[in-house]
């Protein structure tokens, strides 16, 4: 029985590296702003970063990365293990990688994960470019959310087939969340595993009415009926809860497991809500799964 919990695409280490900074940031609350440090070489900057994280020294992190370094990731669940995981990877391997004459990146761990804040050459030496790092963290979050969304749509398609086979007597669910007391959606609360629904309680964070901050990896979902003349048995649609912030593309998936995507622009919320049936004409076909 599928349970849609966590990230189907494990991006744990990339998140851990940044969360390690946030854990250290707790110690720096209330500290006065300090001038960001300039280093004689990228290697010196990298070692200062690793040392500051190892000591959970928010004061040092502020000097190394800049006073707004806490903005790299929203404060939320912080685990000391995040720091240990990052430091373990750092100890196994870290290296500076030149990226042109005036820019350098820091690779961490055996996988070569790139620390999101690059180093930029200034007239007096090398300095972490926090603004570029904030943009990179945002770009990575968008990419992760879109990948998770595509995987989630595939899992919902699997759940639809289980629903048709086990509950719907050949019919597919028309809604994500069942009406209270019924089993007319892909999720319903169950007292036992034997009565469990095809998807788990993560579905409660997928509906259009979910607040944007709580949306499942930044996306809303709906089940669509087939469009006129369509051979599809059903359709699925997922769109960003906050366009440009939690995602850019809107995705559709048919019962044939073919993906379609479209950038609906700043009006994504209203445009996606207005889509009442699965009719992907004019959408870009992405892949067969």
Question: What would the pLDDT profile of 200-254 be if each residue is shown by its tens digit?
Answer: 999 999 999 999 999 999 999 999 999 888 889 999 999 999 999 999 999 999 9
Pairing of strands 103-108, 235-240: unpaired
Q: How many CB atoms lie within 10 A of CB 273?
A: 13
Instruction: Give the model's pLDDT for residue 195.
Output: 85
Contact 236, 252 (CB under 8 A): yes
The pLDDT tens digits for 146-205 are 999 999 999 999 999 999 999 999 999 999 999 999 999 999 998 888 889 999 999 999
Each residue of 17-51: pLDDT tens digit? 555 554 544 444 444 556 899 999 999 999 999 99
- Indicate the pLDDT class of residue 79, thresholds 50, 70 and 90: low
Which pLDDT score, from 0 to 100, does residue 5 have? 39
Helix locations, the chain, DSSP H: 12-25, 42-54, 58-65, 80-92, 130-166, 268-273
Kindly state the average pLDDT of the residues 276-289.
Answer: 86
Task: Please report the pLDDT score of residue 74 as a whole number.
Answer: 57
Question: What pLDDT is stored for residue 75 in this prediction?
Answer: 56
The confidence score (pLDDT) of residue 28 equals: 44
For range 251-269, the mean pLDDT: 97
Q: Within a 10 A sphere around the Cβ of 250, how many other Cβ atoms? A: 24
Q: Residues in the chain, how many? A: 289
Assess contact for 146 and 249: CB atoms under 8 A.
yes
**pLDDT value of residue 267:** 97
User: pLDDT band for position 70 (50/70/90)?
Assistant: confident
Contact 235, 222 (CB under 8 A): no
Supply the pLDDT for residue 11.
42
**Residues 112-134: what's their mean pLDDT?**
95
Query: Which residues fall within 8 angstroms of residue 118, CB to CB, at 6 or more apart?
Result: 99, 103, 104, 105, 128, 129, 132, 133, 136
- The Cβ of residue 223 has, within 10 Å, a number of other Cβ atoms equal to 18
Report, in angstroms and rounded to the nearest whole number, the Rg of the chain calculated over CA atoms. Answer: 23
Domain ranges of the chain: 12-128, 145-288
């Amino acid at each position: 029985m599928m349970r849609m919990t966590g990230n189907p695409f494990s991006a744990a280490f990339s998140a851990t590296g940044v969360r390690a900074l946030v854990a250290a940031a707790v110690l720096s609350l209330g500290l006065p702003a300090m001038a960001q440090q300039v280093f004689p070489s990228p290697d010196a900057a990298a070692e200062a970063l690793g040392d500051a994280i190892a000591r959970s020294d928010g004061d040092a992190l502020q000097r190394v990365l800049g006073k707004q370094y806490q903005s790299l990731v929203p404060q939320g669940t912080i685990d000391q293990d995040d720091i240990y995981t990052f430091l373990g990877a750092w100890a196994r391997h870290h290296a500076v990688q030149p990226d042109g004459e005036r820019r350098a990146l820091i690779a961490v761990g055996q996988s070569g994960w790139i620390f999101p804040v690059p180093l930029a050459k200034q007239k007096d030496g090398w300095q972490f470019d926090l603004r570029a790092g904030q943009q990179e963290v945002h770009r990575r979050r968008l990419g992760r959310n879109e990948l998770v969304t595509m995987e989630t749509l595939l899992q919902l398609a699997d759940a639809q087939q289980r629903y048709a086979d086990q509950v719907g007597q050949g019919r597919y669910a028309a809604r994500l969340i069942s009406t209270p007391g019924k089993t007319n959606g892909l999720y319903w609360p169950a007292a036992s595993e034997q009565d469990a629904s095809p998807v788990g309680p993560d579905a409660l964070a997928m509906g259009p009415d979910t607040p944007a901050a709580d949306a499942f990896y930044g996306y809303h979902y709906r089940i669509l009926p087939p469009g006129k003349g369509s051979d599809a048995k059903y359709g699925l649609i997922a769109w960003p809860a906050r366009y440009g912030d939690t995602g850019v593309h809107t995705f559709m998936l048919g019962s044939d497991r073919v993906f379609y995507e479209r950038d609906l622009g700043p009006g994504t919320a209203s445009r996606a809500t207005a889509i009442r049936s699965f009719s992907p004409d004019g959408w870009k076909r992405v892949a067969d799964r």
